Amino acid sequence: MRVLKAFAVAFCVASALSAGAQTGGWQPSPGHRQIPIWPGTAPDARPFTGPDTVRTDTVNLVAGRPYLYINNVSRPTMTVYSPKGRNTGVAVVVFPGGGYQILAIDLEGTEVCDWLTAHGITCVLLKYRVPGESRYPLSGPYPDSPLALQDAQRTVGLVRNHAAEWGIDPHKIGVLGFSAGGSLAAQISTHYEKRLYPVVDAADRVSCRPDFAAAIYPGHLSWSDTRLEMNPNDPVTRETPPTFLVQAEDDHVDGVNQALVYFIALKDAGVPAEMHLYAQGGHAFGLRPTKLPITRWPELMETWLHTIGALPRD
């Protein structure tokens, strides 16, 4: 079943790549700068094949609008978006989705940062490596996407190491991911005790454990498409951070089981978890509002952040 799912994801990505025109390497909005997360060559780097490319998908519209996506990312970066108005001290590292083949950089990236910064939260947008081919066998530390996990571990460590400089509370650093990025949020929530790469500098000597996590229509978490069987490569324990989940029952890309198995694993481990399951919504809706109730999930997550004490209760 995992082979069939991999084929389905690859087909969806290939379809997306056929839409829109290449516009050159992605750049953030004026006033923001991409920061390389590795001081030199990234660990386990694949041969460099040129800069990432940006395309516009004008076929698969979301809330009636096209979206941008990046492919061919071999040099990962982070972009820091400072909070607007009062700084709450909270930071969130955002992982866009795209099947570990592309990154939906505006739908599940910059638009998310606009929402977070408007609530006084520092947003760190990670442009992680895609495609991230595995160098591990299926029994290895993390067979699905080790390069993306390396980039995520490094970035959370960098944010915590720069917390004082960036006005961040080092105990209020979370992650938020969509689709494949949602599975990346689960990966770093369960793989933080040991880096998947040799220590580079001081940022790799501080914890890369998120203080909270959110996974929106996540993928890659179920070991089966037909049974509630958790992916054994995401070993949930009582130390896994509090987690927020959003899922639609009619998600025909990753399927409802992906979020269900993770919620059950969190519950069984005694981890505080909140899941919102809706009948309709499909997949890859981001934060764009429609008539469907599921698109109001950002309000629920904001309430949850107050509930767990990340945002002040005022």
Considering only 68-77, 100-109, 228-237, which range has the smallest mean pLDDT? 228-237
Q: Would you place residue 184 in the very low, low, confident or very high pLDDT band (cuts 50, 70, 90)?
A: very high
Return the CATH architecture of domain 2-307: 3-Layer(aba) Sandwich (3.40)
Question: Does residue 201 register a pLDDT over 80?
Answer: yes
**Phi and psi torsions of 147, nearest 5°:** -70, -40
**Phi and psi torsions of 294, nearest 5°:** -60, -25
- What is the predicted pLDDT for the residue at 222? 86
Residue 101 pairs in a beta bridge with: none
**Residue 58 near residue 66 (C-beta atoms within 8 A):** yes
Question: Does residue 20 register a pLDDT over 80?
Answer: no
Question: Does residue 7 register a pLDDT over 80?
Answer: no
**Pairwise CA distance, residues 303 & 43, whole Å:** 38
- What is the predicted pLDDT for the residue at 25? 83
- What is the predicted pLDDT for the residue at 143? 56
- What is the predicted pLDDT for the residue at 248? 97
**Residue 255 near residue 222 (C-beta atoms within 8 A):** yes
**Residue 28 near residue 34 (C-beta atoms within 8 A):** yes
33-76-177-172 Cα dihedral, nearest 10 degrees: -60
CB neighbour burial string for 26-36, b if at least 16 within 10 angstroms, e if fewer: bebeeeeebee
Q: Peptide bond preceding 131: is omega within 30 degrees of 0, i.e. cis?
A: yes
- What is the predicted pLDDT for the residue at 1? 39
Q: Would you place residue 47 in the very low, low, confident or very high pLDDT band (cuts 50, 70, 90)?
A: confident
**Pairwise CA distance, residues 253 & 171, whole Å:** 34
**Pairwise CA distance, residues 47 & 21, whole Å:** 24
pTM of the model: 0.91
Report the candidate in 175, 187, 248, 177 with the shortest Cα–Cα distance to residue 221.
187
Report the candidate in 125, 176, 154, 153 with the shortest Cα–Cα distance to residue 305.
176
**Pairwise CA distance, residues 287 & 265, whole Å:** 26
pLDDT more than 90, % of the chain? 76
What integer best gives the mean pLDDT of the chain?
89
Q: Spell out the domain ranges in the chain.
A: 2-307
DSSP 202-242: GGGSS----SEEEEES--S-BS-SSS--B-TTS---TTSPP
Report the candidate in 259, 189, 252, 270 with the shortest Cα–Cα distance to residue 221.
259
- What is the predicted pLDDT for the residue at 14? 40
Average pLDDT on 87-102 reads 96
Q: What are the E-state strand segments in 91-233?
A: 91-95, 102-103, 122-127, 173-178, 212-216
Q: Which residue has the higher pLDDT, 237 or 145?
A: 237
Average pLDDT on 131-147 reads 58
**Pairwise CA distance, residues 113 & 140, whole Å:** 34
Question: Does residue 8 register a pLDDT over 80?
Answer: no
Q: Which residue has the higher pLDDT, 136 or 275?
A: 275
- What is the predicted pLDDT for the residue at 45? 87
